Each structure stands twice: as C-alpha cells, then as structure tokens.
Amino acid sequence: MKEALKTKDKSRLNVLRGILTETTSLEKESKGIKTDKQLYKLLQKRKTASSNAVREFQAANRGDLTAKENEQIDILQGYLDGFATTTADEVVGAIQTTIHEFQTEGVTPKRDKVRAKLFRPGGAFEDKILDEALVAKTINRMVHEVAPSKP
C-alpha cells in the first residue's frame, strides 16, 4: 500500500482499500482472514465481481467504467499470481493416494468420501490453494475408473 501511495497509483490504491475494507468487515463478524487460502478466495471473489461488472458496463456501452474494472482485474490477477497454488499433478497424486488408502482398507472409494478425506483437517488439501472445479472433475474421473457405476 505504501508503494501505491508513493507512486500515486489510484487503481492499485482503490483495490487495496477495497480488500482492506472487506477484511476489516470480516474480522468484525469474527470471520477474519487467517490463512492464505482465505485471502486467495477473497481476491478471487473480488476479481469475479469485477468481471461481472465489466460485462454489465459493456452492455451499457460504458467504456470508461469497463477500462477501470479491467485495470482492477489485472491488479487482482497480479496478486493472485503471487500465491503458490497446488498443481494438477499434485491434485492427481493426492487423489490417487487417497483412493489407494480406501482400497487398502477394503472400502470402495466414493466421490464424497474421497473429497471429505482430502479436505478434512489434516487432509492433503487442508488449507491448500487449488482449483476446486479441477479437484471435483478429477475425483469423479478417477473414482469412476476404479469403481465404475453400474447401469
């Protein structure tokens, strides 16, 4: 924030002030940001909101507002890119390990149980920054490969 103040980068200042306001509000609700994953999700949420605003501004032929929102999206994406995220290979490896653990116990792996084990406290994905849609698709595919559903 100091750097944005020094360089008088209004767009970056607006983004940072918005993030600060939202985190302060969450702290008052006792849902404060305590992990990188929570901050990452907050930044993603703000980016999605800006993307939705861009579509609305484009529909209303508001090029000036569209440009401002696109600039905010670029700033938010820059912050998001600074986080270490779980790779697709790491996701596949963790899911394979979890499915193997179920099979070793003599239990047929089910999507919901695999997901629950991965995201529970102490699980492979606890507090990991990852693409949850990719996780869901990968779990579905891999569980189906080892235990195809019956027609």
pTM, two decimal places: 0.74
Q: Quote the tokens at residue 93.
A: 């490896």
Instruction: Determine contact, residues 98/141, Cβ cutoff 8 Å.
Output: no
Radius of gyration for the alpha carbons in the chain, expressed in angstroms and rounded: 20
Specify the range with the lowest mean pLDDT, choosing from 6-20, 40-54, 132-146.
6-20
The tens digit of pLDDT for each residue in 47-82 reads 999 999 999 999 999 999 999 999 999 999 999 999
Q: Is the pLDDT of residue 147 over 80?
A: no
CA 92/CA 99 separation, integer angstroms: 10
Helices (H), the chain: 2-7, 10-28, 36-59, 63-81, 88-104, 111-119, 132-146
